[in-house]
Structure 1
């Protein structure tokens, strides 16, 4: 079974996501060598998983077409739609923050997250956020403070896809929200499909019939 992750993770009690955080200078975002390195038998590759290597772990996942998400118990779903009523994102709302995971078409050579990460940092600063780079389970992450909300962005390069996850929540719950995002990303399955797509194209999100019917009923 092949699992796609940029770094291995340690199964040890003192590992904390983003423990090696460093302030990012304007226009400068740390690269992958910030990610923690561990050796020995305490490691395993983290998800997310490609459809071709999806684990038979019995985990109940919400099928959204391009991604299958292990939604936590008690979470609520919020569907974001564009002007054409196409689904743009499905947000997983939990007591510790709002989690969002999206997949994009990527080159076979990988490395898309590195490009996107730098652009995202500039965009966030342009919106007035204070941004820093963090080393996490899959390499480089971004942490941004914007008003009373803290954001954390994770990116993972897979086979012809890139997965981006973000959690938005109150700063005092940052540790819990980070762990919640990690758990969601670890268990996500990405369905890239075989059709050619321009790089950075969002992979389409398809709602389960029951959710789609519920939204249609609400919209009259």
Structure 2
């Protein structure tokens, strides 16, 4: 797949249709089976190379850099994918069978971002509502997808002059992602655990054991 390449998006013209943040409503139906992302049970045999993070399998493009964010208590908080278009972060959360979690989270994000001084608006995307925020010299795009008992959330942070390319790249990243929710019961909004590949985990452990010398 042409990840992070420029391509036309279906139903997308020169401008972006906007949602009313106060009255967006829930988008009926599901586009997951058509567009991806995929539940583990429906993962395609498409030959795409994906980084296995346990609960997520993410199609990281050649040349991208990975940055691992660790929680002070030890678990991995996030894995960031850094490219010329910006920094991409994808996380998955336990969600109710009825869906609709992204609609709730989107409204909360808007309030939080505005409280931080960001300018926020909502736009229509491939899976419904997307959230766009401008804060200083950074543009943020949040996209959420409601799946079967999980919600996938992606965000890209990048310069304003690359906002459109960054948004398209985030959509392609989400489209190719596979979510492995598992069968264990979890409270709604619980982050699905991220497990690093052995080679990356060993590299981090070695770096922590032998920190670079200070000047």
Query: What TM-score, normalized to structure 2?
Result: 0.87
Regions of 4+ moved over 2 Å: 11-18, 21-24, 28-33
Residue ranges of structure 1 left out of the alignment (5+ in a row): 1-10, 34-43
Structure 1 segment 33-112 matched on structure 2, within 5 A: 45-112=34-101
Q: Answer whether contact 2:39 2:147 (CA < 8 A) is retained.
A: yes
Aligned with residue 24 of structure 2, among 3, 22, 30: 30
Shift of 1:52: 0.3
Q: Answer whether contact 1:63 1:207 (CA < 8 A) is retained.
A: yes
Shift of 1:99: 0.5
Q: Answer whether contact 1:30 1:133 (CA < 8 A) is retained.
A: no
Query: What TM-score, normalized to structure 1?
Result: 0.85
Shift of 1:29: 5.8
Q: Tell me: CA distance 1:50–1:16, structure 2 relative to 1, closer, same or farther (3 Å).
A: farther
- Tell me what 2:176 maps to: 187
SS of 1:45 mapped into structure 2: helix
- Tell me what 1:216 maps to: 205
Q: Tell me: CA distance 1:79–1:202, structure 2 relative to 1, closer, same or farther (3 Å).
A: same
SS of 2:66 mapped into structure 1: strand
Structure 1 segment 121-132 matched on structure 2, within 5 A: 121-132=110-121
Task: Give yes or no for the alignment of 1:173 onto 2:162.
Answer: yes
Q: Answer whether contact 2:19 2:129 (CA < 8 A) is retained.
A: no
Q: Tell me: CA distance 1:146–1:174, structure 2 relative to 1, closer, same or farther (3 Å).
A: same
C-alpha deviations, 1:72-123, integer Å up to 9, x for none?
1110000001111210000000001000100000001110001111011100
Aligned with residue 152 of structure 1, among 114, 117, 141: 141
- Tell me what 2:18 maps to: 21
Residue ranges of structure 2 left out of the alignment (5+ in a row): 1-7, 28-32, 210-215
Aligned length: 198
C-alpha deviations, 1:167-193, integer Å up to 9, x for none?
000000001101110110000000000
Q: Answer whether contact 2:99 2:148 (CA < 8 A) is retained.
A: yes
- Tell me what 1:38 maps to: none
C-alpha deviations, 1:8-31, integer Å up to 9, x for none?
xxx76773597213575xxx2633
